[in-house]
Structure 1
Amino acid sequence: MPPNVLVAYGTTNGSTAEVAETIADVLRKSGLAAEARPAGSVPSATSYDAVVVGGGLYAGRWHKDARRFVRRHGKVLAERPLWFFSSGPLDPSASERDIPPVPGVKKAMVRLDAREHITFGGCLREGAKGWVARMIVRNGKGGDFRDFGQIEAWAARIGQELTG
């Protein structure tokens, strides 16, 4: 039976969910059993052999659902292969250079011995939730800066690592 991988995510407007679904899809194509689920809907991580956790970035912090998931399931996560991703910059910077994890994510990486973190570009579209998000879009600073080639390549590396 192939390893079972959870891709848990925290998102407000759905962009990070789309990244997580892409990662899970690539992992399935690598021969793994993988599912993407909202972090707040996962009652237990014990049935998974490996975990990827992602969160949108808001004012320099990971999405609250991703933070809560890592705190709530920390003991189990520390016993499994673990990767983190962030999504958020509303410019091409994430495709141009490595963006380090925000301090809270860095602490969780060290505490749980996560294998890797990557930051992907973000996406903010018309109709976004939240006053700040709507102002960003209204001021022409929104858009889709996700690089799905980069996302797929990162997920494929995880798949290779898990399948040997």
Structure 2
Amino acid sequence: MTMKVLVAYGTTNGSTRRIAETIAGVLDAEGLTARAVPAGAVDDVTPYDAVVAGGGLYAGRWHKDTRRFVRRNRSALAERPVWLFSSGPLDPSASERDIPPVPGVRKAMERIGAREHVTFGGCLEEGARGWVARMILRGGKGGDFRDFPRIERWAARVAREITAPVAL
């Protein structure tokens, strides 16, 4: 029986959704059954053997849907392996060095016993919703800084950890 993995995500303009879908695709290719689902649409994590949860970063905070997802499911998440990711920097820094989780994500990691957190570059392109997004774009700071080969390597490593035999 293949293991089921939930990839829950919070996004405003769709950038983080594409990261989550990429992660789910890699997990599927590695022999798992993975579903990428908006964090706000997840009612129950108990059908899943493992969870990957991520959210876009906005003003130093995870997307509200991801924060609420972790809070609502804290007990169930603590009972299964969980990996977390953030997307956000609108520059190449996330591909150049490890960026630690923001304080709220670090607290979530501790509460649920998450195995790891990684920060990926973000994406903000013309047509993005929100006043702040429009101001950032107007200031010339937008662009796509998602590093899909890095995302795929990370997801493949997560898949190996999920499927690794458990030592007795």
For this structure pair, what is the TM-score category when the shorter chain's length is used for normalisation? Answer: over 0.9
Match of 2:60 in 1: 60
Within a 5 Å distance, the mapping from 1:3-152 to structure 2 comes to 3-152=3-152
How many residues are paired up? 164
Matches of 1:4 and 1:11, distance apart in 2: 22
Matches of 2:135 and 2:110, distance apart in 1: 35
**TM-score, normalisation: structure 2:** 0.97
- Which ranges in structure 1 are unaligned for 5 or more consecutive residues? none
Regions of 4+ moved over 2 Å = none
**Deviation digits for residues 123-162 of structure 1 (CA, Å, limit 9, x no counterpart):** 0000000011011112210000000010000000011111
Displacement after TM superposition at 1:24 (Å): 0.1
Q: Give the match's secondary structure for 1:34.
A: strand
Displacement after TM superposition at 1:163 (Å): 1.5
Matches of 1:135 and 1:105, distance apart in 2: 26
Matches of 1:139 and 1:74, distance apart in 2: 39
Matches of 2:73 and 2:91, distance apart in 1: 32
Displacement after TM superposition at 1:62 (Å): 0.2
Matches of 1:69 and 1:120, distance apart in 2: 20
Matches of 1:108 and 1:70, distance apart in 2: 7
**TM-score, normalisation: structure 1:** 0.99
Match of 2:156 in 1: 156
- Which ranges in structure 2 are unaligned for 5 or more consecutive residues? none
Matches of 1:151 and 1:31, distance apart in 2: 17
Percent identity, please.
74
Displacement after TM superposition at 1:55 (Å): 0.3
